[in-house]
A and B are shown apart, each in its own frame.
Chain A
């Protein structure tokens, strides 16, 4: 059993260290309430300066964006994406009249996604389905992006009068310019049309000004909207006289699968 003196020493030994620990805990709690560390706090002048820098930085970003904006459209491609020679055309339709399945393409010549479709999907469609005569494809304009779209569609409709719509649309996609920058010039169309065998360029320009063609191109967006078209390219498959149904594809294999499905009935 410990003596009185020993007991005092023991009590002191256990009690004394407790007091500072309590103090430390309170101090750290007080410190925690001040997070983040208050000694780190920037001065009012620094804050004003920082927000001033933010406004200047945003303005600089806008200036750089406006000055350094790049024409994002890819460069023109010289060679046709696929050879259309020898494939029958009738107005807007490319392919045999005997084809059991029709792939309808709603497109806008200014739409970059339509260019992607023409460059990456259209060659497979033509080579594997249209040329052999199992599928034909019909172009329906949905010129919703701007004036260049409507003008290009006028010339496509004029080319359709000579059964050359598909040759001209393919050439236009290869030379697609920046959206609504006036890239669909008479000069460009004359150049492209001159490179299409069997297309009468002067007649093309006459037809492009025809009242019915001008009216059809101007009203095509409304027609598309009434048909439920929301964007381009919209692809639909028509089998015989049945109402066409929409397909959504992300790869060439998906296009093949959709067409094979339709051909299998």
Chain B
């Protein structure tokens, strides 16, 4: 796969991440549309005490991280590729922690949060390949 194709793939996945994190941020601030769903519990998770860190919504942190990764992909120097991989690794590790919270503490799984996990894992993989090629 060419360098250009990898960058396009990474940018596409990062854009999907922006969409997912953007939606979760909107839901976090939009309280009138809330529904607690049995077995899904998206909004239960979003309303839990773990949904914010020092007053900042976790979803907003995710949105910021995806935008930073997109910016670094556009910049595309070797250092930018390394930085993008680092941000993606932090994102993946933190997503694993959030997944553990959903499964074992809140006991409600958020479908959109799982969508985020589906995005961040391949993004890290593609960014790592890009980084190794630079």
B42-74 contacts to A, CB under 8 A, are 43-44, 47-55, 58
In the assembled complex, the Cα of A226 lies from the Cα of B32 at a distance in Å of: 27
Contacts of B126 in A (CB 8 A): none
Contact: A112 with B53, CB < 8 Å?
no
How far apart are the CA atoms of A251 and B33 in the complex, in Å?
8
Residue of A nearest to B107 (CB): A146
The tally of residues in B whose CB lies under 8 Å from a CB in A reads: 44
User: Using Cβ atoms and an 8 Å threshold, which residues of chain A touch B86?
Assistant: 50-51, 53-54
**Looking at the complex, which of B8-16, B18-26, B88-96 is the stretch in contact with chain A?**
B88-96
Enumerate A70-100 residues with CB–CB distance to B below 8 Å: 70-72
Contact A108 B36 (CB under 8 A): yes
A158, CB-defined interface residue at 8 Å = no
Interface size of A by CB at 8 A reads 49
Scoring A residues 124 to 152 as 1 if CB is less than 8 Å from chain B, else 0, what string do you get? 00000000000000000010111000000
Q: Are A50 and B90 in contact (CB under 8 A)?
A: no
Flag if A68 contacts B54 (CB, 8 Å): yes
Which residues on the A side are within 8 Å of B76 (C-beta)? 35-36
Q: A50, B83: Cβ atoms under 8 Å? A: yes
Q: Is A230 an interface residue (CB 8 A)?
A: yes
Are B44 and A145 within 8 A (Cβ)?
A: yes
For this complex, 22 residue pairs linking A to B, each with C-beta atoms less than 8 Å apart, are: A36-B77, A36-B80, A37-B77, A42-B82, A50-B85, A54-B86, A54-B93, A58-B90, A61-B53, A68-B53, A69-B49, A69-B50, A69-B52, A70-B55, A72-B49, A108-B36, A113-B34, A145-B36, A230-B38, A231-B35, A231-B40, A232-B35
